[in-house]
């Protein structure tokens, strides 16, 4: 699994920089510092590697968020808006998903995966009484995916390195929340770029502590 992750990360860095057409297997192997045999053991082609990068987008955000319900959904989009500026795996996944028609793919799975994750958040929110009556989790989740897709595309041409994407996401939620959430939940739902920054800082600190613990355990052995 470590080799596969290494290949995905290297491929993402190359795809993010060069796009699918400009990326070569040679470039990816050089970036990963691995052999062709290692790559083809895990991926049968450059197209298969690109598809894997596209489908790995949620891995950059979802596993480490601890919030629940509506706040979790908001957090996913807030962190996504910041990570899309810096995380090669997420950036490449978005770029490849947008450009996939140019290399012969027509795969909606990345969008559907995001939609399923968001719908799960909304079902939890509904179970906790956070949503107004009549709000359909699947329909709302699909709308949020569509809105985020449009916002990142707009932001990519309207600002340098999507610098205004976080603000766009915040404004989206300030418009949406009064129509989907009960008033008491709106009052307690945190929607700000500062929250995303704090979540990322906490995640980085936790990852560093975990790595230090692993190294310490190895030293004792």
Question: Would you say 206 and 64 are in contact if contact means Cβ atoms under 8 Å apart?
Answer: yes
Does pLDDT of 213 surpass 90?
no
Q: What is this structure's pTM?
A: 0.89
Please give the DSSP secondary-structure letter assigned to residue 167: H
The per-residue DSSP string of 30-87 comes to: HHHT--HHHHHHH-SSHHHHHHHHHHTGGGGTGGG----HHHHHHHHHHHHHHHTTT-
pLDDT at 196: 94
Architecture (CATH level 2) of domain 1-51: Orthogonal Bundle (1.10)
Which pLDDT tens digit goes with each residue over 112-158? 999 999 999 999 999 999 999 999 999 999 999 999 999 999 999 99
pLDDT at 184: 97
Where b means 16+ CB within 10 Å and e means fewer, 166-175 reads bebbbebbee
> From CA 194, how far away is CA 53, in angstroms rounded?
28
96 contacts: CB under 8 Å, gap ≥ 6: 15, 20, 50, 53, 54
pLDDT at 73: 98
Torsion angle defined by CA atoms of residues 209, 197, 199 and 56, in that order, rounded to the nearest 10 degrees: -90
Inter-helix orientation angle 137-158/165-180, to 10°: 160
Its CATH class, for the domain covering 56-211, is mainly alpha
> From CA 56, how far away is CA 54, in angstroms rounded?
6
Counting Cα atoms < 13 Å in the Cβ hemisphere of 213 gives 6
Mean pLDDT on 164-177? 98
pLDDT at 221: 44
Which pLDDT tens digit goes with each residue over 59-85? 889 888 999 999 999 999 999 999 999
Angle ∠(72,111,198) on CA atoms, nearest 5: 30
Output the average pLDDT for the chain.
Answer: 93
Which pLDDT tens digit goes with each residue over 3-59? 999 999 999 999 999 999 999 999 999 999 999 999 999 999 999 999 999 999 998
Domain range summary for the chain, segments of one domain joined by +:
1-51, 56-211
Which pLDDT tens digit goes with each residue over 95-120? 999 888 877 888 899 999 999 999 99
């Amino acid at each position: 699994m470590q080799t596969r992750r290494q290949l995905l990360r290297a491929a993402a860095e190359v795809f993010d920089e060069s796009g699918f057409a400009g990326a070569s297997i040679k470039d990816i192997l050089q970036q990963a510092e691995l052999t062709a045999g290692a790559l083809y053991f895990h991926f049968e082609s450059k197209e298969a590697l690109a598809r894997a990068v596209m489908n790995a987008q949620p891995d950059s955000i979802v596993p480490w968020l601890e919030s629940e319900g509506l706040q979790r959904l908001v957090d996913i989009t807030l962190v996504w808006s910041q990570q899309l500026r810096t995380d090669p795996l997420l950036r490449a996944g978005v770029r490849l998903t947008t450009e996939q028609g140019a290399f012969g793919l027509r795969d909606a799975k990345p969008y559907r995966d995001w939609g399923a994750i968001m719908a799960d958040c909304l079902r939890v929110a509904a179970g906790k009484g956070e949503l107004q009556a009549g709000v359909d989790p699947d329909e709302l989740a699909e709308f949020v995916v569509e809105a985020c897709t449009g916002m990142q595309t707009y932001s990519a041409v309207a600002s340098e390195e999507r610098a205004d994407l976080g603000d766009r996401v915040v404004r989206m939620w300030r418009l949406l929340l009064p129509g989907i959430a009960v008033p008491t939940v709106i009052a307690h739902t945190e929607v700000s770029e500062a929250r995303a920054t704090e979540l990322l800082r906490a995640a980085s600190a936790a990852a560093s502590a975990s790595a230090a613990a692993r190294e310490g355990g190895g030293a004792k052995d």
